[in-house]
Amino acid sequence: MNVMHHQTIARLSRLMATGLALMTLYACSALQPTTTPRSVFYSLDNARHAASVPVSSAAPVAVSASAPTLIIHPARAAAGFDSQRIVYVREPHKLEYFAHSEWVDPPATMLGPLLVAAVESSGAFRAVVLTPGAATGELRLNTEIIRLQHEFQTQPSRVRFTLRAYLVDDKTRRVLAWREFDEHAAAASEDPYGGVVAANRVVQSVLGKLSAFSAEAARGVRSEK
């Protein structure tokens, strides 16, 4: 009986020691701060476009002294696309956002300097000014991002960019010309970075066409006068 009694006490002691160790381990893990994945920030820029043209070979664009001044108003964005969150789509009409990947600024904000650089390269304007204020010129360009989204309904996935542009007489506020650009580019990888690279490609493509549209519309206005 004494042997059995001692064995029972020994087993109970081991169980209590094991339970105490587990409780201590749990308490320590509960006190440790949880690790949250860091957000990664991406930009829209013209680095790819600029890198494809050596600076030494880029000849200055000749601009006529009679060319109009263009005021570019900061771009607007449709609801759902007016924040730093990167949008992706798996089902029609349903916008989702990547959890730990964001734009460094809302796309509409990043688009402003890119618009200026693209339109200046056309040589159709004496000056191109990005301003939200009361600066005046002969013409004004208003733009709105309708969508900029990474679409996963196709394989490979693709990024779709839709931009609406209005060329306006800055004095009369009359719309002289408008166009909606809608393009897409395939993503090289099925992740946020692949979408960001595709977004930069498709934005540069649309801006090239927007530059040609603005120059053509401006020449049409001058020929009418």
CATH of the domain at 165: 3.40.50.10610
Measure the CA dihedral 108/113/118/123, to 10°: 140
Both 21 and 127 in one domain: the answer is no
Is 142 in the same domain as 51? Answer: yes
CA-closest candidate to residue 216, choices 124, 103, 102: 124
Q: Examine the domain organization and report whether 31 and 105 are in the same domain.
A: no
If you search the block for the tokens 């191109």, which residue do you land on? Answer: 128
Q: Note the pLDDT of residue 24.
A: 54
Dihedrals φ, ψ of 100, to 5°? Answer: -125, 25
On whether both 4 and 78 belong to a single domain, the answer is: no
Domain boundaries, position 142: 43-224
Adjacent-strand bridge partners of 180:
164
Q: Where would I find the H helices in the chain?
A: 2-31, 47-51, 107-120, 192-224
124 and 210 both lie in a single domain = yes
Rounded CA-CA distance 219/225 in Å is 10
Q: Is the same domain home to 69 and 85?
A: yes
Residue 147, SS3? strand
Q: How many CB atoms lie within 10 A of CB 181?
A: 19
Question: Is 209 in the same domain as 167?
Answer: yes
Domain count, the chain: 2
Does pTM top 0.85 for this prediction? Answer: no
For residues 146 and 186, membership in a common domain is answered with yes
Same domain flag for 26 and 56: no
Which range has the worst mean pLDDT, 101-105, 110-114, 131-135?
131-135
Considering the domain architecture, whether residues 95 and 162 belong to the same structural domain is answered as: yes
DSSP string for 40-99: EEE---SHHHHHTS-GGG-PPPP--TTPPEEEEPPPEE-TTSSSSEEEEEEETTEEEEEE
The pairing of strands 175-186 and 85-91 is unpaired
Per-chain mean pLDDT for the chain: 84
Nearest to 181 by CA among 197, 199, 195, 161: 161
Q: Are residues 92 and 160 in the same domain?
A: yes
Query: Are 66 and 92 part of one and the same domain?
Result: yes
Residue 32: is its pLDDT beyond 60? no
Whether pLDDT at 212 is above 90: yes
Is residue 208 a contact partner of residue 119, using CB atoms and an 8 Å limit?
no
pLDDT of 78 reads 98
Burial class (CB in 10 A: 0-12, 13-18, 19+), 173: exposed
Total residue count of the chain as it appears in this document: 225
**Lowest mean pLDDT: which of 17-21, 68-72, 143-147?**
17-21
- Which of 24-38, 56-70, 97-111, 119-133 is the most confident on average? 97-111
